[in-house]
């Protein structure tokens, strides 16, 4: 069925594509007219008539009704709605110019017609020579009234460019013809405003020969007001719109009007040329026509009527063509749809036949697969039984081993307990015994967990309910963690909201184990300065709710569902536990018919919630004095053992120990402090920082660590130029050859496997340091000051990093050989190292201090110059960087056993 559906969609899409293939791109043209009048109505008719011949384009015309705000809104409407080109006749240049500029700079083509804007932020301009029209009107007025006549001028809208240009042209023409403009007023292009201002002027001005109006409507208003005041005045208008201007001339309302071309067809053609990328004139000015007067007005009206009839016929014809085309499109679509349906039916028929054939084949295949699956199921069932048997055998083995370990562990625990209390041990011995004591207790707890878990698996773990007063018991348990909280600067909040007389039947030992497990996990995974909150409250009278929340690293979402599974560890690379603590805690809670839940987010913390039913038993026993967990126990398992570290001894080799286990670090510090000055790091990143800062003589590094493991740390130490010479001894519980090979590939110099023998560890450390000393003797000469060996130390063993470092050092010294102010600080800066880092690096590689090495290089260079050049001793001394010839002579004699003069005398004698 899926294939049928896809075939149907394909055929429908194909048919739709065929039915629409005849369509062309449609251009959207927006026209913004500044007002509504007879002249603009004529132009709009021409635009609509022209667009009929261009089916690839549509036009939308909007009128601003002489409002700048409305025209700005219309132009923004065209821009925001994705019109391809905008045609505008600005109402006022100052107001409309900013929006035209904005549209033009946004990439939308703009055509300005009739009226102009300030500037040239447009694609094309089409307009009439308004200045020429004004001048022609002046010449025609001179013809009507003769030289010396008096004229009143009726302006268009203030700020409109045609009004200004018509005025300027008329004034120039009037000056030439000897007529004068005695008054003027703004008629704002409309009849009412013009009639008002003319009525006022005719009351004052009686001696008038001619009225010059910027359009026909204002001219008609002026003529009617003149007749009202009984004045016989000649009137000239502009526009010559058929329905108003030409008709007014034919009716002898006004004497003449000048034809103001609309040219709507030309505007549309220019717009399409721009959109199609065809040539066009950016600025087009229409020619001036002859005036319309009583002699030609009737002819023009007849032509207009004829044009109207032709336009009506064209519209009718276009409507018929559109109807025909719509029918043709519908029939074409129907034809394609019929073809698609036939093809679809054939395809469906074929698919049904194919499905029928495939179904028969699939039935045979499914029967064979079912047979194979049944065989696999039987095999899987047998394997599961074997796996369960193997798992049970392992648990039995661990249980038996745990039982066997209890006796020797008891025999170890008691002597260690006595040694911890002994007061005749040295501080070093006392620290080692405390470490042993802590780990004996941890091992004892793990063995008990394994035995309890085995009992739970076998259904033999009993629960002994006792009626206890819980509030003081919880307070005592929580107080046991205060000391370790203070030591690690963790804010421990204990919030127990239980009545003082609250009692409940629980197995005290098991709930105590649950409490200890949750709290110890919180402390284990919460960093210093973090927060841990323990709360207890009663949910009504049916549920006791215990909650432990921390601000630790949290648990990933994919691990939350598995953390209560046996042997599951969230951190599989660097585990911090056995993986059965939470599983056993859940088992203890479920024995009480309760539940345990967890909420956690990475890097935000976790919240464990235990809910226990409130039950009671007949006998009540007071357990407020029973306290299995003590502050000492908590500090023993979770706390850090204090070590009395000795002050740094600069005569001892510097040893860096990198291990995330505090006990391991403390033990190694105690074991190795007699022979080394020991510093510590808890992870690879911190160790890398300390190695670069102190440049130790040896690094002992654990492999399995958080943040950065030992292999990565070793690799970075060997890649860093300031630490690459330091031997690294990896300390790990991984003893397989493949794992050792990874360590050596990372640059490790040796391995010591856990558990390690102290004598072996010390021997390996001594051996690595001694080998490094032998290498230093190869890099440099043991007797640099003798006559025969006063040469620049050369690396004869060629590790890439050391060679690069040494070559860089020699390059800097050679370049600055003659600079007596060259010192260790300058060399360290040029090498990109600190002063102490450079000192330890040079000392480790050559057995020389940087000062000694620099002096030896200068002396070697001076000896070469003494034997190969004729320069004076003073010149050579200054050239190799000595401040005075006397100091140079003294150093030279100390190094070679003779003065420079004696050397030259000896050479000359030969």
pLDDT at 737: 62
pLDDT at 817: 80
| pLDDT tens, residue by residue, 283-333 | 988 877 778 888 888 888 888 788 778 777 877 877 777 788 788 888 888
| 800-909 topology per CATH | Arc Repressor Mutant, subunit A (1.10.10)
pLDDT at 83: 94
Q: Report the first-to-last Cα separation within the chain, whole angstroms.
A: 109
Least confident residue range of 363-367, 617-621, 814-818: 617-621
pLDDT at 362 over 80: yes
- CATH topology match: 130-260+289-294 vs 800-909: no
Distances, alpha carbon 189 to alpha carbons 155, 158, 218, 270, in Å? 8, 10, 6, 27
pLDDT at 570 over 60: no
The average pLDDT across 521-532 equals 89
Distances, alpha carbon 177 to alpha carbons 141, 173, 671, 826, in Å? 9, 6, 123, 94
Label residue 474 exposed, middle or buried (CB < 10 Å: 0-12, 13-18, 19+): buried
| Pairing label, strands 503-506, 491-497 | unpaired
CATH class, domain 130-260+289-294, is alpha beta
pLDDT at 893: 84
**In CATH, what number does 462-638 get?**
3.30.565.10
Q: How confident is residue 224, by pLDDT bands cut at 50, 70 and 90?
A: very high
725-741 b/e (C-beta count within 10 Å ≥ 16 → b): bbbbbbbbeeeeeeebe
Sequence-ordered alpha helix ranges (H) in 662-728 = 662-672, 684-694, 710-719
Q: Is the pTM of this model over 0.85?
A: no
Nearest-angstrom CA–CA distance, 591 and 494: 26
pLDDT at 905: 79
Q: How confident is residue 77, by pLDDT bands cut at 50, 70 and 90?
A: very high
Residues contacting 469, CB < 8 A, separation 6+ = 501, 502, 503, 622, 623, 624
The closest alpha carbon to 817, from 879, 744, 752, belongs to 879
Look up residue 244 and give its DSSP letter: I
Mean per-residue pLDDT over the chain, rounded? 80
Pairwise pLDDT comparison (797 vs 600), residue with the higher score: 600
Name the residue ranges covered by the structural domains of the chain. 130-260+289-294, 462-638, 654-766, 800-909
pLDDT at 624 over 50: no
pLDDT at 158: 82
12: which 2 tokens? Answer: 């429908």
Q: Which residue's entry shows tokens 């065209």?
A: 78
Pairwise pLDDT comparison (48 vs 852), residue with the higher score: 48
CATH architecture of 654-766: 3-Layer(aba) Sandwich (3.40)
Q: Which residue's entry shows tokens 């739970």?
A: 456
The closest alpha carbon to 198, from 172, 228, 176, belongs to 228
| pLDDT tens, residue by residue, 710-763 | 888 998 888 887 788 888 998 876 656 666 777 777 888 888 877 777 788 888
pLDDT at 486 over 80: yes
Look up residue 620 and give its DSSP letter: B
Strands (E), 190-329: 210-213, 234-239, 256-259, 283-286, 291-292
Ranked by mean pLDDT, which of 218-227, 423-432, 719-728 comes out on top? 218-227
């Amino acid at each position: 069925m899926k294939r049928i559906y896809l075939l149907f969609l394909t055929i429908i899409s194909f048919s739709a594509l065929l039915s629409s293939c005849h369509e062309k791109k449609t251009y959207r043209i927006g026209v913004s007219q500044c007002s509504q009048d007879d002249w603009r109505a004529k132009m709009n008719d021409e635009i609509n008539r022209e667009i009929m011949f261009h089916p690839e384009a549509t036009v939308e015309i909007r009128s601003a009704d002489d409002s700048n705000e409305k025209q700005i809104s219309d132009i923004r409407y065209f821009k925001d709605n994705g019109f391809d080109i905008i045609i505008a006749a600005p109402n006022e240049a100052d107001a409309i110019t900013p929006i035209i500029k904005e549209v033009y700079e946004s990439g939308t083509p703009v055509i300005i017609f009739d009226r102009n804007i300030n500037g040239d932020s447009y694609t094309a301009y089409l307009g009439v020579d308004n200045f020429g029209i004004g001048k022609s009107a002046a010449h025609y007025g001179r013809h009507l009234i003769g030289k010396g006549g008096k004229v009143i001028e009726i302006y268009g809208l203030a700020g409109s460019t045609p009004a200004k240009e018509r005025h300027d042209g008329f004034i120039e023409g009037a000056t030439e013809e000897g007529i004068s403009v005695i008054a003027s007023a703004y008629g704002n292009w409309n009849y009412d405003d013009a009639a008002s201002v003319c009525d006022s002027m005719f009351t004052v001005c009686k001696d008038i020969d001619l009225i010059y109006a910027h359009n026909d409507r204002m001219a008609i208003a002026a003529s009617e007001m003149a007749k009202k005041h009984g004045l016989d005045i000649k009137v000239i208008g502009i526009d010559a719109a058929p329905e108003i201007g030409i008709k007014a001339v034919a009716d002898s309302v006004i004497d003449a009007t000048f034809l103001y071309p609309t040219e709507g067809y030309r505007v549309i053609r220019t717009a399409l040329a721009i959109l199609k990328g065809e040539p066009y004139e950016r600025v087009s000015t229409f020619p001036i026509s002859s005036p319309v007067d009583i002699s030609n007005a009737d002819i023009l009206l007849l032509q207009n009527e004829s044009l109207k009839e032709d336009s009506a016929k064209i519209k009718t014809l276009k409507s018929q063509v559109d109807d025909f085309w719509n029918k043709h499109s519908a029939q074409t679509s129907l034809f394609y749809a019929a073809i698609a349906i036939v093809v679809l039916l054939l395809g469906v028929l074929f698919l049904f036949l194919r499905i029928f054939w495939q179904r028969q084949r699939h039935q045979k295949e499914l029967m064979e697969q079912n047979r194979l699956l049944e065989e696999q199921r039987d095999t899987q069932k047998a394997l599961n039984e074997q796996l369960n048997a193997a798992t049970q055998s392992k648990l039995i083995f661990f249980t038996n081993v745990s039982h066997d370990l209890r006796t020797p562990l008891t025999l170890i625990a008691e002597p260690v307990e006595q040694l911890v209390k002994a007061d005749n041990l040295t501080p070093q011995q006392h620290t080692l015994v405390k470490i042993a004591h802590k780990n004996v207790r941890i091992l004892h707890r793990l063995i008990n967990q394994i035995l309890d878990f085995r009992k739970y698996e076998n259904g033999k773990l009993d629960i002994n309910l006792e009626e206890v007063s819980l509030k003081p018991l919880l307070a005592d348990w929580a107080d046991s963690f205060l000391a370790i909280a203070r030591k690690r600067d963790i804010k421990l909040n204990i919030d127990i909201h239980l009545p003082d007389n609250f009692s409940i039947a629980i197995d005290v030992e098991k709930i105590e184990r649950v409490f200890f497990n949750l709290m110890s996990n919180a402390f284990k995974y919460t960093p210093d300065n973090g927060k841990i909150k323990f709360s207890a409250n009663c949910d009504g009278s049916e549920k006791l709710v215990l909650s432990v929340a921390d601000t630790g690293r949290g648990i990933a979402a994919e691990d939350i569902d598995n953390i209560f599974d046996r042997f599951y560890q969230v951190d599989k690379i660097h585990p911090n536990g056995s993986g059965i603590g939470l599983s056993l805690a859940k088992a203890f809670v479920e024995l009480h018919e309760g539940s345990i839940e967890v909420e956690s987010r990475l890097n935000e913390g976790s919240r464990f919630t235990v809910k226990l039913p409130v039950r009671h038993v007949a006998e009540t026993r007071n357990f407020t004095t029973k306290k299995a967990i003590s502050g000492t126990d908590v500090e023993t398992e979770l706390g850090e053992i204090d070590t009395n570290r000795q002050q740094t001894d600069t005569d001892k080799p510097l040893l860096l120990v990198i291990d995330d286990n505090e006990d391991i670090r403390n033990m190694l510090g105690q074991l190795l402090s007699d022979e080394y000055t020991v510093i510590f790091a808890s992870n690879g990143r911190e160790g890398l920082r300390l190695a670069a800062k102190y440049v130790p003589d040896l690094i002992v590094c654990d492999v399995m660590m958080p943040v950065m493991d030992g292999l990565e740390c070793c690799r970075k130490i060997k890649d860093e130029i300031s630490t690459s010479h330091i031997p690294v001894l990896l300390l790990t519980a991984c003893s397989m050859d493949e794992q050792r090979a990874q360590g050596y590939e990372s640059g490790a110099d040796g391995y010591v496997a856990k558990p390690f023998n102290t004598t072996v560890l010390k021997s390996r450390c001594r051996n690595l340091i001694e080998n490094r000393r032998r290498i230093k003797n190869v890099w440099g000469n043991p007797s640099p000051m003798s006559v025969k060996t006063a040469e620049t130390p050369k690396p004869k063993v060629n590790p890439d990093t050391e060679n690069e470092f040494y070559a860089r050092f020699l390059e800097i010294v050679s370049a600055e050989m003659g600079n007596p102010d060259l010192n260790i600080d300058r060399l360290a800066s040029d090498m990109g190292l600190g002063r102490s880092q450079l000192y330890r690096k040079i000392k480790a590689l050559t057995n020389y201090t940087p000062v000694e090495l620099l002096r030896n290089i200068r002396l070697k260079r001076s000896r070469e110059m003494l034997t190969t050049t004729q320069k004076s001793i003073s010149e050579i001394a200054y050239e190799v960087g000595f401040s005075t010839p006397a100091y140079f002579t003294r150093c030279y004699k100390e190094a070679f056993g003779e003065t420079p003069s004696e050397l030259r005398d000896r050479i000359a004698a030969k």
